Every structure is written in structure tokens, then in C-alpha cells.
């Protein structure tokens, strides 16, 4: 958006001049400064907010004083902050830490992340919406009224569904719908109150709307990849029914994906909870893991057939290995417990670089990018697996999340997730749980290979490098946020540091214990 965005006026759906942007931002600044850092999806925790810039604003419902019904404002606000400490990870959900942050290029710089806010405005807020309150502006156009998070108000969430049912422009927003989708009217809205890196609303048992909180110009992978998979007739991912985005002025760059409406898989259970349930009763999980491997390979195959792929040669493999080494070094500075293992862990990254030196190349394609058990759903009746949440790791720049990568990165991340489940169950990583993880990881790899994916056992250098890189990130995350969990990734570090891939007959590779061992939990 241009520099003049902060001086624009907010316009209603009828293009009626209603509230001046500078006065609104000035009145909201004290409230947002306190409220934003407390939100799960706020990326700049631990650093003070130094200012705000209003990027865009649209009045979806009139915010007239004294009205009996709430008003609704849509804002894109840039929060200016000082530079983060080196190596600071992005918070992630407990079922599986986020992917490693991108390697730094030079010193840290001040940040100004852009956030999407949907604000309800009401003179008398019902008691049940007390948890949604942001505050009461002491001045400005909303003086004396309560401002609150509209995505916790079922009435205002219902309005969003109606907007998505009828494509078109509304102020600075554009609502779009897949032509053959039939979205029912009047579905009851149920805001999802669990902590997430975004916000979600369920409509009846038919749809779920994900509203992206931290935004950037460009097509969000959580819309782009499911649309591509729908074109490929891949039924493993719910196909988008509608979405909304910014409608930028001519010459002001790409639109910003703001939210995606997809079918809600009612009655499904997420893979993380299913794995914990199996561990709690010492039940076998290999058939489920094998089927999940099938689902993952089907998604990867469809993405490779639908979207462009590329080849990684020596320069690209060298760069990937160098970034992994940089993360290892920076993490060891922060977590002393990692230092005794650094030399041996570094061999995993050296072996990855050596692939290019030997003249070998690997295919890179679009992948999930943040795959773990919590990103999978299994239906109760058919036992069929689906993959969800293709946004990738939100802490990474959007351009990086859309970059082709080796598919084994997703596989390695899922292997870490099985280990994390084994260490999280009631037995806490006893011999039975570790054997459960070993068999489960092996079954997942087998299912992946059976469904046409690259057999993980045929790429031991890539697998070990990506799993090691993931474990290093987990060490940093747990040390900073959950110190009592640090033994979990450290167990994986010890295993991976001792894993030595050996050259098998005819040039094949023995994958070593890192492909089916179970010392860690992710």
C-alpha cells in the first residue's frame, strides 16, 4: 500500500465517508498496544510496539453511536517494533514446534508486521463477550463505545459468511467464491476459541473459515495449494469454497489473501490426539501411520503434477546446508547443552552438501511446509486421512513459503512428530513408547513409498539433514519457551549425532537409526 494509506478515510459499503483514518488510529493505539502482544498469533512477543500505521480500513457495518446493533470495522494495521534478538523463534502450537526460522542475512532489523483486525463496536456489550473486549477509546470517533474482537462474536461472524456467499467488492475488500460452490445461508457461527496462529470460525457442520492474522502481499499457500489440489482432483485436502482478499489500487502490488472458507470435516479427529490416545492404551498405530504415509504421498504427487518443479544442484544444496549450519551455530550459542553434539550434527549438513559435489541433484516442488500430526485429520467412519493448514510456517516470509523444496522435508517433519507423540504420552518415552515410535515411523515411510512417493530410505542424506535441522530448532524453541521439555529434542539430538549413514552395496545407502529410531519427540 502507498504511504497515503494512513491518511485515507474509512468508507462504508455505500462509499459514505464516515470516520477519518488518522483520528481512528490515534484513538485505538493505546488499546492495541496493550491487546496485540497478548494474542497467540502476535509474532513480535517480547519486543515493545513503537508505533502503528493504518494500511487500510473498511466499515463493514455502520459504527454509528447509540445503535442497537454492533458495528464492524476491518483494519489492516502495521505494528512497528524494534529488532528481535538473533535466533528468536516464532511461537508454535504444542503438538509440534514450528519449522526452523529462515537463516539471518546480516544483522537484525526493526520489523513492521501487518495484522488483520476485525473489530466490533458496541455501546453495551453482552456479558458473554467480555473475553473479546479490547477496550473503550478515550477519544476519537469511537469514544465511549466498547471495541472488541469481532471474530469472537457469532453475530458478526455470520455476516462474514453472508459476504462470502455473494461475491463482489466491499470498500477495500474483495469477496470471491468458487463458481460451483453452493454455500447455504443462515448457518450458525461458532468461533473457535482454542489458541491458534490464526483465527477460525465453524459454520454449522458445513464450513470452517480461517482468517489470517499476520498478512503479506501475495497469494497465501493455504489458498493456493488447496486450489491447485482441487484442480488435480486430489480429495485428500478440503477444496476452498470461497475466500476474501484486499482489492489494491492500480499499481500498488498484489492483493493480500485475508481468509479462506473450506468444507468442515465434521466428526474427524486430528492425528496428534489419535496418536496420544493410542499411546495411552498401548495400541498399535502402524496401520494408521501407513495410511497417513499414503495420503502424504498422494498430496505431494498431485502438487508436483499441478505446480512447477525445479532441480536442486550443487549451488542450491550448498546454500541449504550452509543455512542449516548457521542455525546450528546460532542455537548452540543460546543453548549450551547442544554444544557437545555440534561437530557430529554438522556432518549431516556436510553430507547434504556432498550430494551436489558428487554431481547429484534432487527435485524440489511445492510442499505442505509445516507438516505434523496436528495438521492431519482422520474420519471416524472411513478412517480416511486428510491434510489441512497449508499456510506453511507463519514466521517465514511468504515468498520463502511458496518456494519449491524437497518433499522429504515434510516427511522428516512428520517423523519428528511421531517421536514427539511417543515422548508426550502417559508413559513419557518408556521402552514401549519408543518402540511404538520406531514401528510407526517405519510404517509411515513404507506407506509413503507404496503410494508413489520417493522412498525415504533412498534419500538418507536429505532425511538426516532435514530431521537434524528440525531437531535443532526444537532445542531452541523448548529452551526459550518450555524448558522442562528440553530433554525431548535433546534425546533426538543424541540419536541423530550418533547416526552414521553408511554406503550400501551397489551405491545404495543404509538409512541408519535416524529413519526408524525413536529417541525424540516432535
d(CA 146, CA 163): 24
- Angle CA(221)–CA(81)–CA(76) in degrees, nearest 5? 50
Sign for the pseudo-dihedral over CA of 11, 35, 92, 397: positive
Strand ranges of the sheet holding 242-246, from the earlier edge strand across to the other edge: 168-170, 173-177, 242-246, 257-263, 207-211, 199-203, 189-191
Q: Return the number of other C-beta atoms located less than 10 Å from residue 287's C-beta.
A: 12
Model confidence pLDDT, tens digit, residues 117-138: 999 999 989 999 999 999 999 9
Euclidean distance between the first and the last CA atom of the chain, given in angstroms as a whole number: 39
Model confidence pLDDT, tens digit, residues 260-288: 999 999 999 999 999 999 999 999 999 99
Instruction: Find out whether 521 and 424 touch, Cβ atoms under 8 Å.
Output: yes
- Cα 237 to chain centroid distance, Å, stands at 16
Burial (CB count within 10 angstroms: exposed 0-12, middle 13-18, buried 19+), residue 319 = middle
d(CA 209, CA 203): 8
In the three-class reduction of DSSP (H, G, I as helix; E, B as strand; rest coil), residue 65 is classed as coil
Beta bridge partners of 173: 170, 246
Residue length of the chain: 522
d(CA 249, CA 256): 12
d(CA 331, CA 300): 31
Q: Are strands 71-81 and 214-215 parallel, antiparallel or unpaired?
A: unpaired
d(CA 259, CA 296): 24
For the chain, list residues with pLDDT below 70.
Answer: 1-20, 84-110, 249-252, 425, 499-522
Closest listed residue to residue 84, CA positions, set 72, 67, 102: 102
Q: Which residue has the cell 463496536?
A: 121
Q: Return the number of other C-beta atoms located less than 10 Å from residue 282's C-beta.
A: 12
d(CA 425, CA 33): 39
Q: Return the number of other C-beta atoms located less than 10 Å from residue 11's C-beta.
A: 17
Instruction: Find out whether 257 and 245 touch, Cβ atoms under 8 Å.
Output: yes
Instruction: Find out whether 485 and 389 touch, Cβ atoms under 8 Å.
Output: no
Q: Return the number of other C-beta atoms located less than 10 Å from residue 346's C-beta.
A: 17
Q: Are strands 269-270 and 376-378 parallel, antiparallel or unpaired?
A: antiparallel
d(CA 168, CA 14): 13
Q: What is the pLDDT of residue 239?
A: 96
Q: In the numeric block, which cell numbers belong to residue 312? A: 536442486
d(CA 66, CA 64): 6
Q: What is the pLDDT of residue 111?
A: 75
Q: Which residue has the cell 516470509?
A: 397
The alpha-carbon radius of gyration of the chain (Å, integer) is 24
Closest listed residue to residue 177, CA positions, set 156, 160, 191, 189: 160
Q: Return the number of other C-beta atoms located less than 10 Å from residue 52's C-beta.
A: 21
Q: What is the DSSP string of 195-254?
A: --SSEEEEETTTEEEEE-SEE-SB--HHHHHHHHHHHTT-TTSPPP-EEEEE-PPTTS--
- pTM of the predicted model, to two decimals? 0.86
Q: Return the number of other C-beta atoms located less than 10 Å from residue 439's C-beta.
A: 17
Q: What is the pLDDT of residue 247?
A: 81
Q: Where are the alpha helices (DSSP H) in 335-385?
A: 342-357
Instruction: Find out whether 471 and 416 touch, Cβ atoms under 8 Å.
Output: yes
CA distances from 229 to 232, 238, 409, 451 (A): 5, 9, 19, 17
d(CA 152, CA 166): 23
Element (H, E) at 81: strand 71-81
Amino acid at each position: 500500500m502507498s504511504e497515503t494509506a494512513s491518511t485515507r478515510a474509512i468508507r462504508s459499503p455505500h462509499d459514505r465517508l464516515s470516520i477519518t483514518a488518522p483520528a481512528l488510529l490515534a484513538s485505538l493505539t493505546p488499546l492495541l498496544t496493550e491487546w496485540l502482544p497478548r494474542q497467540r498469533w502476535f509474532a513480535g512477543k517480547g519486543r515493545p510496539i513503537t508505533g502503528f500505521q493504518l494500511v487500510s480500513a473498511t466499515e463493514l457495518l455502520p459504527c454509528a453511536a447509540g445503535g442497537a446493533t454492533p458495528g464492524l470495522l476491518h483494519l489492516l494495521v502495521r505494528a512497528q517494533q524494534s529488532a528481535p534478538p538473533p535466533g528468536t523463534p516464532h511461537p508454535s502450537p504444542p503438538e509440534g514446534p514450528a519449522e526452523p526460522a529462515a537463516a539471518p542475512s546480516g544483522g537484525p532489523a526493526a520489523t513492521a508486521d501487518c495484522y488483520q483486525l476485525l473489530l466490533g463496536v458496541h455501546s453495551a456489550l453482552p456479558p458473554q463477550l467480555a473475553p473479546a473486549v479490547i477496550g473503550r477509546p478515550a477519544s476519537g470517533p469511537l469514544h465511549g463505545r466498547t471495541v472488541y474482537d469481532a471474530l469472537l462474536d457469532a453475530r458478526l461472524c455470520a455476516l462474514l459468511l453472508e459476504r462470502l456467499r455473494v461475491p463482489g467488492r466491499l470498500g477495500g475488500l474483495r469477496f470471491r467464491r468458487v463458481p460451483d460452490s453452493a454455500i447455504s445461508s443462515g448457518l450458525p457461527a461458532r468461533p473457535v476459541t482454542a489458541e491458534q496462529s490464526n483465527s477460525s470460525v465453524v459454520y454449522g457442520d458445513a464450513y470452517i473459515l480461517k482468517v489470517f492474522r499476520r498478512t503479506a502481499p501475495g497469494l497465501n499457500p493455504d489458498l493456493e495449494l488447496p486450489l491447485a489440489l482441487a484442480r488435480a482432483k486430489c480429495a485428500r485436502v478440503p477444496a476452498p469454497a470461497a475466500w476474501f482478499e484486499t482489492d489494491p489500487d492500480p499499481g500498488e502490488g498484489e492483493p493480500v489473501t485475508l481468509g479462506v472458507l473450506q468444507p468442515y470435516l465434521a466428526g474427524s479427529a486430528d492425528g496428534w490426539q489419535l496418536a496420544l490416545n493410542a499411546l495411552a492404551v498401548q495400541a498399535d498405530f502402524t496401520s494408521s501411520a501407513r495410511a497417513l504415509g499414503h495420503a502424504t504421498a498422494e498430496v505431494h504427487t498431485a502438487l508436483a503434477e499441478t505446480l512447477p518443479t525445479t532441480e536442486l544442484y550443487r549451488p542450491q544444496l550448498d546454500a541449504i546446508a550452509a543455512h542449516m549450519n548457521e542455525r546450528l551455530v546460532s542455537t548452540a550459542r543460546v543453548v549450551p547443552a547442544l554444544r557437545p553434539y555440534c561437530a557430529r550434527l554438522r556432518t549431516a549438513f556436510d553430507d547434504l552438501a556432498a550430494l551436489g559435489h558428487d554431481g547429484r541433484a534432487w527435485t524440489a516442488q511445492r510442499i505442505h511446509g509445516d507438516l505434523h500430526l496436528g495438521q492431519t485429520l482422520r474420519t471416524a467412519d472411513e478412517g480416511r486421512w486428510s491434510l489441512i493448514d497449508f499456510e506453511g510456517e507463519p514466521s517465514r516470509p511468504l515468498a520463502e513459503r511458496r518456494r519449491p523444496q524437497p518433499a522429504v522435508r515434510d516427511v522428516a517433519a512428520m517423523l519428528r512428530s511421531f517421536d514427539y507423540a511417543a515422548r508426550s504420552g502417559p508413559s513419557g518415552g518408556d521402552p514401549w513408547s519408543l518402540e511404538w515410535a520406531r514401528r510407526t515411523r517405519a510404517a509411515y515411510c513404507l506407506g509413503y513409498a507404496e503410494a508413489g512417493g520417493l522412498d525415504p530410505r533412498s534419500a538418507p542424506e536429505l532425511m538426516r539433514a532435514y530431521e537434524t535441522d528440525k531437531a535443532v530448532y526444537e532445542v531452541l524453541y523448548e529452551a526459550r519457551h518450555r524448558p522442562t521439555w528440553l530433554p525431548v529434542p535433546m534425546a533426538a539430538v543424541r540419536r541423530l549425532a550418533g547416526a552414521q549413514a553408511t554406503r550400501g552395496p551397489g551405491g545404495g545407502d543404509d538409512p541408519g537409526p535416524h529413519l526408524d529410531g525413536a529417541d525424540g519427540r516432535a
